[in-house]
Amino acid sequence: MTAAESAGARGGRDDTVAAVVRQWRAVHPGLDTGPMEIIGRINRCAALLQQAEDAPLRRAGLSRPEFDLLGALRRTGRELTPGELARETFSSGAAVTKRLKQLTEHDLIERRLDARDRRVSHVRLTDAGRDLVDGILPEQLAYERAVLCDLEAPGQKELAALLGELLMRLEGRLGAVRV
């Protein structure tokens, strides 16, 4: 039984991806829509989660990419170069430069030039930046906990393991392309 079929069997309601799959099957009955049933749901879940998750960020005057930079600095616990931040956040160098300028203007980060190579800068959180990240993170995690509360613990662990396996494969396959 496919995911779309089992969703229908659980209560007659389909998610939006199940409806899309049904439409494609009507147009192309022999088409294997299995990948769409997984990737489509991952993409849809990510979009919906991000919309709600970003509310605390918007209240703090931050965008998701800006918070990702601040979060990378907070979780690594050390200064990072803009290049390291780009790798940590899967962002382009130009995008990181623009965001660092905005975060500096808001006194959330500080930049200092490298003593040996003046072309390299090191970025660190200010006290205000650290406090902001530490204040938003619990709210973020509470939201995520609430989203997952209807999934029993074993289901959450299984989903995390499957997504982790998929992510490792994708990073291995696509990681060389992102360099």
Q: Say yes or no to pLDDT of 85 above 90.
A: yes
| Mean confidence (pLDDT) of the chain | 87
Place of tokens 């030039």: 113
The amino acid at residue 21 is V
Q: Please state, for a pLDDT cut of 90, what percent of the chain lies above it.
A: 64
Rounded CA-CA distance 134/159 in Å is: 27
Could you tell me which residues are beta bridge partners of residue 112? 122
Could you tell me which residues are beta bridge partners of residue 66? none
Containing H/E element for 109? strand 109-113
Rounded CA-CA distance 86/104 in Å is: 16
Number of neighbours of residue 37 by Cβ within 10 angstroms? 19
- pLDDT value for 174: 60
Rounded CA-CA distance 58/36 in Å is: 32
Residues 86 and 96 sit within 8 Å (Cβ to Cβ): yes
The pLDDT tens digits for 101-118 are 999 999 999 999 888 888
Residue 32 falls in which region: left (phi positive, over 0), alpha (psi -120 to 50) or beta: beta
Structure tokens at 46: 């990510």
- pLDDT value for 19: 94
The pLDDT tens digits for 20-47 are 999 999 999 999 999 999 999 999 999 8
